[in-house]
Structure 1
């Protein structure tokens, strides 16, 4: 089985975990990892929006190889997969058990969390490329300065410690950053969990849809590959995947929309919470519902429709790029 993935340290770690699990479940299966340098990896300064969002930057090239029959499957971080568009001929054949979905604060070496807490972020420059994280950060710490900051997880931390200025998409520079907001799961994957100064709880910063979930996509008509992938599929993570992505579908969000969504399963019940913010963090709406875990899309649809009733469409429309 040929599995496509990005060349980044984190993507390779995730794909190697998939290969290990497939080999354990099917010892006679030959698994080959095929590395891609996507446009999002080669352009480390531009806004992802210029490449069609995360889908165009990190997903499209590998998906095309699956459609062309060059790959049996593709590894994606679920949060990078667009949820507001059809993917004809493809489906998610497996999801791995969810890693911690929360966001974390990483401070530049020499700075302390006590100093950050005392100042409530005033005078700090926090780097992120995620509009959701930027919106929540401005909501939590109104006096911080958020700067555009891109790169693979380990690269970002190196840039932070070296106090590198960041080139801005429209020209000029910003920085250096004093701190970064990053996914805890990504830091763990690249061996940098020790750099986490503090975690943001879901109440403080609701995770991105699918954050912490590794997805394996394959051709819908490739029944053999689907059978193999079913051997490593985590049912709870797949249910959460379906519920949270249904919210994106209902909202028709885009890569510049600060949309968050996170589900928790307890027994046979699932609780799903989702939110929409404007980019300043000033306008904020949230919806939360519970229902049978075995009907995740119905729950996601109900939460998405409630957000629309509360005015989500207007917020999303203001963040949509001009044609």
Structure 2
């Protein structure tokens, strides 16, 4: 293994927690190797007052880090896989996907334990269209407002009384040892997770075969198969942050079971379907589920959201 590995990471508390975790795994495996964290400020970290959907969505948190990889300024990048666009720049790939954390969404409030207990017209904060549409479907009476910022910022805004409740990924809370803040978790049936939610991926240059081989000990096959299916689904739907899309796959007895959802932003239109297949072509399963969703009403919903006809 090379003597120095530079990890490109966002500077948020959560990103640093994830990168520090990966750094620890590499150093434990290769005591002779020094691992450095290189903090990179991304566009998504700079624009905090505008909903993600309006400023370009997913790529906002990875573009600058990918540029550092392509310029040989860092050796690997550690990402929350749900921030990674379906298409990657030429010369880069996601070589490793680590064991998935809790993939569900957490309900956090200082006044009640579940979203069903919130008073009529309560104010809920989330920056995700996926969460907004599914929440509006459960509780159309709630006032759902945009909530941007890092995890700690969002919790602070809740504690300052700006919201009656907020929704965050359970994985982020767990990684920052804040799982005690979650009052309850939405079931998969209530709120289907984002594609790849809870999974951390390692991106590297396709030319660095020896580095990839040395780091493969961190790859978790079950998570990798599920995330590949979910990303195939996302890719077919041309999905980014500006679309209410959810997709979640799990492996059981060598069969991949995947559920996908497309919704209107208001949550009044929703198509949700499931499909299963063996593990030989996870991406193909995701694509087939996406095709099925499009055929059964998803196409009309997405065409409305995108403002152009889906193909």
- Would you call these one fold, judging by a TM-score over 0.5? yes
Assess, with a 3 A threshold, how the Cα gap between structure 1 residues 13 and 244 changes in structure 2: closer, same or farther. Answer: same
Q: Any idea what SS the aligned residue of 1:139 has? A: helix
Q: Does the aligned pair in 2 maintain the 1:153–1:190 contact within 8 Å? A: no
Alpha-carbon distance between aligned partners in 1 of 2:307 and 2:8, rounded to the nearest angstrom: 30
Q: Which residue of 2 aligns with 1:31?
A: 35
Alpha-carbon distance between aligned partners in 1 of 2:227 and 2:71, rounded to the nearest angstrom: 26
2:74 to 71, 75, 81: 71
Q: Which residue of 2 aligns with 1:159?
A: 157
Q: Does the aligned pair in 2 maintain the 1:39–1:51 contact within 8 Å? A: no
Assess, with a 3 A threshold, how the Cα gap between structure 1 residues 127 and 28 changes in structure 2: closer, same or farther. Answer: same
Q: Which residue of 2 aligns with 1:246?
A: 232
Query: Which deviates further from its counterpart, 292-301 or 59-68?
Result: 292-301
Assess, with a 3 A threshold, how the Cα gap between structure 1 residues 93 and 284 changes in structure 2: closer, same or farther. Answer: same
Alpha-carbon distance between aligned partners in 2 of 1:243 and 1:151, rounded to the nearest angstrom: 29
Q: Which residue of 2 aligns with 1:54?
A: 58
Q: Does the aligned pair in 1 maintain the 2:261–2:271 contact within 8 Å? A: yes
Shift of 1:86: 4.3
Indicate yes or no: 2:214 matched with 1:228: yes
Alpha-carbon distance between aligned partners in 2 of 1:113 and 1:254, rounded to the nearest angstrom: 31
5+ long unaligned stretches in structure 1: 164-175
Q: Which residue of 2 aligns with 1:205?
A: 191
Shift of 1:53: 1.1
Q: Which residue of 2 aligns with 1:262?
A: 248
Q: Any idea what SS the aligned residue of 1:245 has? A: helix
Alpha-carbon distance between aligned partners in 2 of 1:117 and 1:313, rounded to the nearest angstrom: 31
RMSD value over aligned CA atoms?
1.6
Indicate yes or no: 2:25 matched with 1:21: yes
Q: Does the aligned pair in 1 maintain the 2:58–2:240 contact within 8 Å? A: no
Alpha-carbon distance between aligned partners in 2 of 1:232 and 1:40, rounded to the nearest angstrom: 27
Shift of 1:305: 1.1
1:139 to 132, 137, 140: 137
Alpha-carbon distance between aligned partners in 2 of 1:75 and 1:92, rounded to the nearest angstrom: 10
Shift of 1:118: 4.1
CA displacement, residues 228-254 of structure 1 (integer Å, 9 cap, x when unaligned)? 221211111111111000001111123
Query: Which deviates further from its counterpart, 293-302 or 259-268?
Result: 293-302
CA displacement, residues 197-234 of structure 1 (integer Å, 9 cap, x when unaligned)? 11101111000000000011011111122112212111
Assess, with a 3 A threshold, how the Cα gap between structure 1 residues 320 and 126 changes in structure 2: closer, same or farther. Answer: same
Q: Which residue of 1 aligns with 2:291?
A: 305
Q: Any idea what SS the aligned residue of 2:196 has? A: coil
Alpha-carbon distance between aligned partners in 2 of 1:5 and 1:112, rounded to the nearest angstrom: 35
CA displacement, residues 52-79 of structure 1 (integer Å, 9 cap, x when unaligned)? 2121x21100011001111111111000
2:8 to 4, 8, 13: 4
Q: Does the aligned pair in 2 maintain the 1:25–1:232 contact within 8 Å? A: no
Q: Which residue of 2 aligns with 1:90?
A: 92
Shift of 1:303: 0.7
Q: Does the aligned pair in 2 maintain the 1:125–1:178 contact within 8 Å? A: yes
Q: Does the aligned pair in 2 maintain the 1:278–1:315 contact within 8 Å? A: yes
Q: Any idea what SS the aligned residue of 1:305 has? A: helix
Runs of 4+ aligned structure 1 residues displaced above 3 Å come to 116-119
2:106 to 97, 104, 120: 104
Q: Any idea what SS the aligned residue of 2:249 has? A: strand
